[in-house]
Structure 1
Amino acid sequence: MASASRIELLQQFIKDEPDNPFNLYALALEYQNSDMNKAVSYFDQLLDKHPEYLPTYFHAAAANADMEEIEKALSIYKSGIELAETQNDQHALRELKNAFQNFLFENDLDE
């Protein structure tokens, strides 16, 4: 279960620094093991408010895949791969492409 004090601290950070995407990202990750709906909600906020924040895409796509939101996960993976290419982030690009290939295989999809 997510630590209540850690969640409260992260929520305070979000209030103090509403334009810092890392705080939302940390909160979404904190919820991933205890409340996937809340995690996905925070990932959605990140994708909407901070679409340039590349770390979001890997976890947001995986969370949506776990929730069996296959089309949404597919779209997030593709957007993340495009962003990693645009930002020339080779490490993130490799991770996203690898996760995307695994996602396609696990869901018996062709791309």
Structure 2
Amino acid sequence: MSKLSRIEMLQSFAEQEPENPFNWYALALEHQNSSPEKAASLFHKLLNEHKGYLPTYYHAAHFFAEHGDLDLAKSVFEEGIHLAEKEKQLNTLRELKNSYQNFLFENDLDG
């Protein structure tokens, strides 16, 4: 299956089930390397319209950090940590906290 057909398939799923955050999430991940602008738009959509979809936060924070938006990355990590604590998702919480600490250290930021 070619990359384009996979993206087209995911786009179709997202359009058919716009209320399902996984479809938008999968599409954002697929676009990260080939179309960063589209990925950024999709991550923003997820963070605004599907705030409770926890998997978004880890990947979105890393994406924004890699693309130089450190303030946004920091706030996405913090929102994800808060959501994981609230939902008692301990594995995700641990992953987010570890990544956040690495992010702060690598970018010489204070938590």
TM-score range, shorter chain: over 0.9
The unaligned stretches of length 5 or more in structure 2 are: none
Cα distance in 1 between the residues matched to 2:43 and 2:12:
18
* 4+ residue runs over 3 A deviation: none
Question: Residue 26 of structure 1: CA displacement?
Answer: 0.1
Aligned twin of 1:8: 8
- Give the structure 1 partner of residue 105 of structure 2: 105
**What CA distance in whole angstroms lies between the structure 2 residues aligned with 1:55 and 1:10?**
17
Instruction: State TM-score, norm by structure 1.
Output: 0.96
CA distance in 1, matches of 2:12, 2:56: 20
TM-score by length of 2: 0.96
Q: Which residue of 1 aligns with 2:63?
A: 63
Cα deviation for residue 40 of structure 1 reads: 1.3
Return 5+ residue gaps in structure 1 as ranges: none
Aligned positions of 1:26-45 closer than 5 A: 26-45=26-45
> Aligned-pair distance for 1:98?
0.7
Q: Tell me, in whole angstroms, the C-alpha distance in 2 between the residues paired with 1:43 and 1:91.
A: 22
Counterpart secondary structure, 1:33? helix
Partner Cα separation in structure 1 for residue 36 and residue 60 of structure 2: 10
Question: Equivalents in 2 of 1:36, 1:59: separation in Å?
Answer: 13
- Structure possessing the higher relative contact order (Cα contacts under 8 Å, 6 or more residues apart): 1
**Percentage identity across paired residues of the two chains:** 55
CA distance in 2: counterparts of 1:86 and 1:59, whole angstroms: 19
Pairwise CA distance, 1:89: 0.1
Q: CA RMSD in A?
A: 1.0
Corresponding residue for 1:74?
74
Q: Deviations over 1:49-108 (max 9, x none)?
A: 100000000000001001110100000000000000001000100110011011001100
